[in-house]
Amino acid sequence: MPLLGADMTAGRLVLWHKQPGDTVARGDILAEVDTDKGAIDIEVFTSGVLEKILVQAGEKVPVGTPLAIIREPGETAAVAGPPSPAMPAPAPPSTPVPGRHRASPAARKAAVALGVDLSAVQGTGPEGTIALADVERAAERGKAALPTAPTPSGPRERMRQAIAAAVARSKREIPHFYLSTTIDLARATNWLAELNAPRPVADRLLAGVLFIKAVALALRDVPELNARWDGDRAVPSQAIHVGVAIFLREGGLMAPALHDADRQPLEQLMRAFQDLVNRTRSGALRSSELSDPTITVTSLGERGVEAVYGVIYPPQVAIVGFGKIVERPCAVDGQVVSHPVVTVTLSADHRVTDGHRASAFLNKIDALLQTPERL
Amino acid sequence: MTRIELESVVRRLLGAIAPEADLSALKPEVPFRDQLDMDSMDLLNFFVAIEKELGVSVPEADYAKVSTLGGCVDYLAAALG
- pLDDT confidence band for B52 (50 / 70 / 90): very high
Which region among A234-238, B18-22, B46-50 has the lowest average model confidence (pLDDT)?
A: B18-22
- Any CB–CB contact under 8 A between A190 and chain B? no
CATH number of A1-95: 2.40.50.100
pLDDT value for A145: 52
Cis peptide before A93 (omega within 30 of 0): no
Q: Do B20 and A197 touch (CB under 8 A)?
A: no
Q: Which fold has domain A101-173?
A: Dihydrolipoamide Transferase (4.10.320)
Q: Do B51 and A196 touch (CB under 8 A)?
A: no
Other Cβ atoms within 10 Å of B12 Cβ, number: 12
Region B49-77: mean pLDDT is: 95
What is the radius of gyration, based on Cα positions, of chain A?
23
Residue B12 C-alpha, separation from nearest chain A C-alpha, in angstroms: 13
CA separation for the pair B73, B65 (Å, rounded) = 10
Assign residue A32 a region: left if phi > 0, alpha if psi is -120 to 50, beta otherwise?
beta
Residue B39 C-alpha, separation from nearest chain A C-alpha, in angstroms: 7
Listed in sequence order, the residues at least 6 apart from A192 whose beta carbon sits closer than 8 Å to its beta carbon are A205, A207, A210, A372
**CATH 3.30.559.10 location in chain A:** 175-374
CA separation for the pair A7, A314 (Å, rounded) = 9
How many CA within 13 A on the CB side of residue B23?
Answer: 17
Distances in Å between the Cα of A55 and the Cα atoms of A1, A33, A288, B44 are 9, 11, 20, 41
Length of chain B as a residue count: 81
User: Strand A60-62 relative to strand A10-16: parallel, antiparallel, unpaired?
Assistant: antiparallel
Residue B67 C-alpha, separation from nearest chain A C-alpha, in angstroms: 14
Residue B11 C-alpha, separation from nearest chain A C-alpha, in angstroms: 15
pTM of model > 0.90: no
Distances in Å between the Cα of A314 and the Cα atoms of A112, A175, A373 are 28, 12, 33
Residue A129 C-alpha, separation from nearest chain B C-alpha, in angstroms: 16
Q: State which amino acid sits at residue A191.
A: W
Residue of B nearest to A276 (CA): B41
Listed in sequence order, the residues at least 6 apart from A69 whose beta carbon sits closer than 8 Å to its beta carbon are A50, A51, A52, A54, A78, A79
Q: Is A97 exposed, middle or buried (0-12, 13-18, 19+ CB in 10 A)?
A: buried
Confirm if A59 and A11 have CB atoms less than 8 A apart.
Answer: no
Segments of chain A scoring below 70 in pLDDT: 6-7, 77-110, 112-113, 115, 119, 125-129, 131, 142-153
- Any CB–CB contact under 8 A between B24 and chain A? no
User: Strand A295-299 relative to strand A318-322: parallel, antiparallel, unpaired?
Assistant: parallel
* Distance spanning both ends of chain A, measured CA to CA: 37
Mapped onto helix, strand or coil, the DSSP state of residue A269 is helix
- Any CB–CB contact under 8 A between B39 and chain A? yes
- Any CB–CB contact under 8 A between A108 and chain B? yes
* Average pLDDT across chain B, whole number: 93
Confirm if B15 and B21 have CB atoms less than 8 A apart.
Answer: yes
Q: Do B48 and A208 touch (CB under 8 A)?
A: no
pLDDT value for A138: 80
Helix (H) or strand (E) holding A228: strand A227-230
pLDDT value for A162: 83
Q: Do B37 and A109 touch (CB under 8 A)?
A: no
pLDDT value for A312: 97
Distances in Å between the Cα of A283 and the Cα atoms of A102, A153, A234, A277, A362 are 11, 18, 32, 10, 33
Confirm if A168 and A308 have CB atoms less than 8 A apart.
Answer: no
Mapped onto helix, strand or coil, the DSSP state of residue A221 is helix
Q: Do B51 and A106 touch (CB under 8 A)?
A: no
pLDDT value for A143: 62
Q: Which fold has domain A175-374?
A: Chloramphenicol Acetyltransferase (3.30.559)
A and B: number of Cβ contacts within 8 A: 49
CA separation for the pair A103, A167 (Å, rounded) = 30
CA separation for the pair B36, A249 (Å, rounded) = 9
Confirm if A66 and A44 have CB atoms less than 8 A apart.
Answer: no
Q: Do B59 and A249 touch (CB under 8 A)?
A: no
pLDDT value for A99: 36
Q: Do A108 and B44 touch (CB under 8 A)?
A: no
CATH number of B3-79: 1.10.1200.10
From chain A, the residues in CB contact with B60 under 8 A are 193, 196-197, 204
For A224-239, write each residue's pLDDT tens digit.
999 999 989 999 999 9
Dihedrals phi, psi of A12, to nearest 5 degrees: -105, 125
Q: Choosing among A201, A279, A281, which should be mutated to test the B contact, i.e. which has the most B CBs within 10 A?
A: A201
**CATH 2.40.50.100 location in chain A:** 1-95
pLDDT value for A102: 59
How many CA within 13 A on the CB side of residue A104?
Answer: 20
